[in-house]
C-alpha cells in the first residue's frame, strides 16, 4: 500500500487544529509547518506521534505549502488547512486509492464544503467546490503565488466524491481580520501586474456581485448565513479595488 503524508500550514490555530489532526491521525505522517504561533498550536501537534513540526516565517501561501510538501517523507500528499476536517467517507476513499498497486493518476480533485456561522453550506459554489489537494509530489507541487495558490501537476487528474469540511472562520471578527489581509495582498498583486482602477465599474459591480452570489449561485438556500456570505463576498471585491484606488492616489505627486 502506498503511504500518505498530510501537510498542514498553521499560525495560532489552537482552537481548530486538533479537530483537523484527529481527522487525519490514520495517515502515515503529518507535516505541520508553523509560521510563528504564540499559542498552543505546536503543543497540540506534539500530542500526535506521527506529526512532525517545522517553524518557518511566512513566505506566502504557495511557498509555505510547497515547503511543507518538500518536508514530507512520502510521495502521496494530502494538503489540508488547519481549519479543515477530512470526513470519514473521504478517508475511506483515499485509502482505497492508495491501496492500488499501480496508480496512474497524478492527483485528485477533492470537494470542499464551507462551514460559515455554524452552517454547513448545502448549496452554491461553496458546496463541494473541487480543489486539487491529493496528489503525487513526483508529478508536481504548489505554485509560488502569495495568495490563491494551487497545485500544478503533470499527468491525469481524477475526482473524489467525498468531501473536506472547511470551518474557515471562528467568527465574523476573524473573518474581517483575514479579509483585510487578503484584500491587501490582492491589491499588491494587482499593482505588480499594472492593473488600473475604475470608480464607475467598482460602484456598479458591487450590487451585481451580491445578486450573483445570493440568487444565481443559490446562497439564498443557505439561509441567513448565505445572505451574510454573499454580502461579504461582494464587499471583498469592492474593497480590494478601493484599496487599489487608494494606492493610485498615494502614487500621485
| Residue 110 and residue 142 in one domain | yes
| Residue 157 and residue 183 in one domain | no
Residue 19's alpha-carbon distances to 22, 44, 166, 188, in angstroms, are 5, 10, 11, 34
- Look at residues 166, 185, 209 and tell me which one is the last residue of a structural domain: 166
- Look at residues 125, 142, 166 and tell me which one is the last residue of a structural domain: 166
Cβ atoms 18, 44 nearer than 8 A: yes
CATH number, position 8: 3.90.550.10
The whole-number pLDDT of residue 194 equals 82
In the chain, the number of structural domains is: 2
| Residue 131 and residue 162 in one domain | yes
| Residue 34 and residue 86 in one domain | yes
| Residue 61 and residue 148 in one domain | yes
In degrees, rounded to 5, the angle at the alpha carbon of residue 186 between the alpha carbons of residues 127 and 77 is 50
| Residue 137 and residue 181 in one domain | no
| Residue 126 and residue 32 in one domain | yes
- Look at residues 143, 166, 189 and tell me which one is the last residue of a structural domain: 166
The whole-number pLDDT of residue 150 equals 97
Residue 241's alpha-carbon distances to 95, 189, 234, in angstroms, are 44, 12, 11
Q: Which domain holds residue 245?
A: 172-251
Of 111, 123, 113, the C-alpha closest to 158 is 111
What does the DSSP 8-state code read for residue 220? G
Of 101, 103, 93, 80, the C-alpha closest to 155 is 103
| Residue 107 and residue 178 in one domain | no
| Residue 82 and residue 153 in one domain | yes
d(CA 14, CA 184) in angstroms, rounded, equals: 25
Cβ atoms 124, 106 nearer than 8 A: no
| Residue 13 and residue 133 in one domain | yes
H helices present in the chain, as ranges = 17-23, 41-45, 61-71, 88-98, 172-192, 199-211, 223-251
The whole-number pLDDT of residue 192 equals 86
Look at phi and psi of residue 83 and say left if phi exceeds 0, alpha if psi is from -120 to 50, else beta.
alpha
| Residue 16 and residue 126 in one domain | yes
The whole-number pLDDT of residue 253 equals 63
pLDDT block averages, 10 residues each, the chain of length 253:
97 97 98 98 98 97 98 98 98 98 95 97 97 98 94 98 95 96 92 84 95 98 98 97 88 66
| Residue 42 and residue 117 in one domain | yes
The whole-number pLDDT of residue 252 equals 66
Amino acid at each position: 500500500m502506498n503511504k500518505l503524508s498530510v501537510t498542514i500550514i498553521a499560525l495560532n490555530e489552537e482552537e481548530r487544529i486538533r479537530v483537523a489532526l484527529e481527522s487525519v491521525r490514520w495517515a502515515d505522517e503529518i507535516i505541520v509547518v508553523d509560521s510563528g504561533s504564540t499559542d498552543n498550536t505546536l503543543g497540540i501537534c506534539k500530542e500526535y506521534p506521527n506529526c512532525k513540526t517545522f517553524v518557518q516565517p511566512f513566505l506566502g501561501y504557495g511557498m509555505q505549502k510547497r515547503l511543507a510538501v518538500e518536508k514530507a517523507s512520502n510521495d502521496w500528499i494530502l494538503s489540508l488547512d488547519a481549519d479543515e476536517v477530512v470526513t470519514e467517507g473521504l478517508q475511506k476513499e483515499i485509502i482505497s486509492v492508495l491501496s492500488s498497486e499501480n496508480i496512474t493518476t497524478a492527483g485528485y480533485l477533492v470537494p470542499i464544503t464551507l462551514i460559515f456561522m455554524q452552517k454547513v453550506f448545502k448549496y452554491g459554489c461553496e458546496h463541494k467546490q473541487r480543489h486539487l489537494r491529493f496528489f503525487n509530489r513526483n508529478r508536481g507541487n504548489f505554485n509560488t503565488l502569495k495568495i490563491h495558490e494551487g497545485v500544478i501537476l503533470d499527468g491525469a487528474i481524477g475526482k473524489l466524491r467525498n468531501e473536506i469540511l472547511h470551518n474557515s472562520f471562528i467568527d465574523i471578527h476573524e473573518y474581517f481580520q483575514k479579509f483585510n489581509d487578503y484584500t491587501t495582498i490582492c491589491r499588491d498583486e494587482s499593482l505588480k501586474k499594472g492593473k488600473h482602477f475604475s470608480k464607475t465599474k467598482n460602484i456598479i459591480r458591487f450590487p451585481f456581485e451580491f445578486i450573483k452570489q445570493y440568487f444565481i449561485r443559490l446562497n439564498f438556500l443557505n439561509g441567513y448565513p448565505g445572505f451574510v456570505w454573499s454580502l461579504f463576498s461582494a464587499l471583498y471585491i469592492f474593497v480590494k479595488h478601493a484599496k487599489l484606488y487608494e494606492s493610485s492616489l498615494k502614487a500621485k505627486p
